[in-house]
């Protein structure tokens, strides 16, 4: 009886990991495609918020790839991957902040039409990712940190679309700059959360 119970649990865990892997591959592909689209559009539109959001897409793709790598590994390995995700997220916060300084000095007004259209496309893509990941967000630390990244993307995309509208109305670069700085804060706070959780998990696994 005990052997059959353990076998059922092992089979259920294997099926769970297979479902997680399928979801992670799907969101990885979506984020890679959107990184290329958003980064190109951000450069064309001279938009800090689009460029920053595209870097977030690339960061998420790296996060999902890391999550796929550790999906069949130990809890300690998953905590280590989550720690790496936090470092990546913090790095992108610094990158967006540096870009904000550059945009402020340059003073160029971004193209609002491109910002709005690409921002809406990115929002739709991330809503799909969030829907795919939501059912797995309580599975483990690995999937929880992935879901957190995706949730933050929705905040970033909504901010980009709002900034596009204000830029169109005012013809001022300030809304775009403000959203870029907002992205910096969101990335930094999320990085802190993931780093804290993963560090505790690593410490717990080591004892």
Could you state, in order of their start, the residue ranges of all structural domains in the chain? 19-206
Which residue would you say has higher pLDDT here, 87 or 190?
Answer: 87
Class of domain 19-206: mainly alpha
Tell me the whole-structure pTM to 2 decimals. 0.71
Q: What pLDDT was estimated at residue 205?
A: 64
**Residue 27 pLDDT exceeds 80:** yes
Q: What pLDDT was estimated at residue 145?
A: 67
8 A C-beta contact, residue 143 and residue 20: yes
Q: What pLDDT was estimated at residue 52?
A: 79
CB 190: neighbour CB atoms within 10 A?
A: 21
Residues 6+ apart with CB under 8 A from 142: 67, 70, 71, 78, 81, 82
Q: Cite the DSSP H helix spans in 46-173.
A: 48-70, 75-106, 112-134, 141-170
The Cα–Cα gap between 166 and 40 comes to: 22
Q: What pLDDT was estimated at residue 15?
A: 46
**Residue 55 pLDDT exceeds 50:** yes
Which structure tokens are listed for 10? 């092992």
Q: What pLDDT was estimated at residue 118?
A: 94
Which residue would you say has higher pLDDT here, 100 or 114?
Answer: 114
Mean pLDDT over each residue of the chain, to the nearest integer:
77
pLDDT digits (tens, 9 = 90+) for 181-201: 877 777 777 777 777 777 776
Of 46-55, 61-70, 106-115, 147-156, give the lowest mean pLDDT range: 61-70
**Residue 89 pLDDT exceeds 80:** no
Q: What pLDDT was estimated at residue 37?
A: 94
Average pLDDT over residues 23-33: 87
Q: What pLDDT was estimated at residue 117?
A: 94
The Cα–Cα gap between 31 and 94 comes to: 20
Query: Could you tell me the pLDDT band of residue 49, with boundaries at 50, 70 and 90?
Result: confident
Q: What pLDDT was estimated at residue 135?
A: 77
**Residue 33 pLDDT exceeds 90:** yes
Burial class from Cβ neighbours inside 10 Å (0-12, 13-18, 19+) for residue 8 reads exposed
Q: What pLDDT was estimated at residue 75?
A: 64
């Amino acid at each position: 009886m005990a052997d059959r119970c353990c076998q059922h649990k092992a089979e259920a865990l294997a099926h769970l990991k297979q479902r997680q892997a399928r979801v992670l591959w799907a969101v990885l592909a979506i984020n890679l495609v959107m990184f290329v689209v958003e980064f190109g559009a951000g450069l064309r539109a001279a938009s800090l918020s689009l460029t920053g959001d595209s870097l977030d897409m690339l960061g998420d793709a790296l996060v999902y790839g890391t999550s796929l790598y550790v999906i069949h590994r130990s809890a300690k390995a998953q905590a280590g991957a989550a720690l790496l995700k936090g470092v990546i997220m913090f790095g992108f916060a610094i990158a967006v902040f540096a870009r904000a300084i550059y945009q402020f000095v340059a003073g160029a007004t971004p193209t609002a039409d491109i910002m709005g259209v690409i921002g809406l496309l990115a929002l739709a893509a991330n809503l799909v990712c969030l829907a795919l990941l939501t059912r797995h967000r309580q599975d483990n630390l690995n999937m929880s940190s992935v879901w957190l990244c995706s949730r933050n993307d929705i905040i970033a995309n909504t901010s980009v679309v709002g900034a596009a509208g204000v830029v169109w109305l005012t013809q001022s670069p300030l809304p775009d700059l403000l959203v870029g700085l907002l992205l910096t804060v969101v990335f930094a706070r999320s990085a802190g959360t993931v780093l804290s959780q993963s560090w505790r998990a690593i410490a717990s696994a080591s004892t």
